[in-house]
Amino acid sequence: MHQDFFPPGIAVLTGAGISKESGIDTFRDADGLWNRVNLEEVATLEAWHRDKKKVLDFYNETRSMFRAAGIGPNEAHRALARLEREYDGEVTIITQNIDLLHEQAGSKRVIHMHGRDGEIRCMACKTVFSSDYDLTPASICPHCNSVGELRPNIVWFGEMPIHLEEIYEALERCGLFLAIGTSGEVYPAAGFVLHVRRHAPRARTVELNLEPTDNKSLFHEHIYGPATETVPPYVTRVLTQGWR
């Protein structure tokens, strides 16, 4: 157990809800991009082997959505960047999102557990590299010259999230755990609050979401509303009064 660090760390789990007010839909929005496709057909390794063009076209469309005019960090992303700048201890953002809005808001310590936009992985030589180009089944790996082996460096359904060791270390040394805009239905992220309760028993756990989640009972405090309205005042409260 690592709960005696001082000042204690702050671990923040974010999900699709924090980017909603930036114009990026969550999975559950009725008319969102994700609802126009069957995720099984575009977000699994089997789907990629079956129809690479279909999978790559979907991610190219997602990337162009992220780059659309007007998409940028919102007040909730900015408040978390302020928290990292002004808090004396360590602030770690663990995000399930593949968008880069935390970084664009100024956050430095961001762990993308489901991968990140703008990174590509070669299935042949395993190299991960940054690239802003659309992928096609004819794309060539610049490292090993394989054709058709490049995929977005995004964790698909059935694949293991990345950076888990680093994430559990941050959870075990935190004194405050925030879950923001995440439904509590996607594992292992949904289990992080329980991990904090078990391994950092003195930590306070706070849920900031539009509505109560399945994990509600594991949080000490619940703050409901749109992230742009709830996160900035909560951050001000932590910076001025602490979290007890």
Smallest gap from residue 137 Cβ to ligand NAD (A): 24
Binding site for ligand NAD (CB under 6 A): 15-17, 19-21, 24, 26-28, 96-99, 114, 181-183, 185-186, 209-211, 213, 226-227
Of residues 24 and 193, the one with the C-beta less far from ligand NAD: 24
Of residues 95 and 139, the one with the C-beta less far from ligand NAD: 95
Smallest gap from residue 171 Cβ to ligand NAD (A): 17
User: Is 114 tagged catalytic?
Assistant: yes
Angstrom distance (rounded) from CA 41 to CA 15 = 22
SS (H, E, C) the chain: CCCCCCCCEEEEEECHHHHHCCCCCCCCCCCCHHHHCCHHHHCCHHHHHHCHHHHHHHHHHHHHHHCCCCCCCCHHHHHHHHHHHHCCCCEEEEECCCCCHHHHHCCCCEEECCEEEEEEEECCCCCEEECCCCCCCCCECCCCCCECCEEEEECCCCCCCCCHHHHHHHHHCEEEEEEECCCCCCCCHHHHHHHHHHHCCCCEEEEEECCCCCCHHHCCEEEECCHHHHHHHHHHHHHHHCCC
Angstrom distance (rounded) from CA 183 to CA 160 = 19
Smallest gap from residue 98 Cβ to ligand NAD (A): 4
Smallest gap from residue 195 Cβ to ligand NAD (A): 17
Of residues 166 and 211, the one with the C-beta less far from ligand NAD: 211
Q: Which of 114, 143, 195, 199 is catalytic?
A: 114
Of residues 19 and 175, the one with the C-beta less far from ligand NAD: 19
Of residues 3 and 131, the one with the C-beta less far from ligand NAD: 131
Smallest gap from residue 213 Cβ to ligand NAD (A): 6
Q: Which residues are catalytic?
A: 114
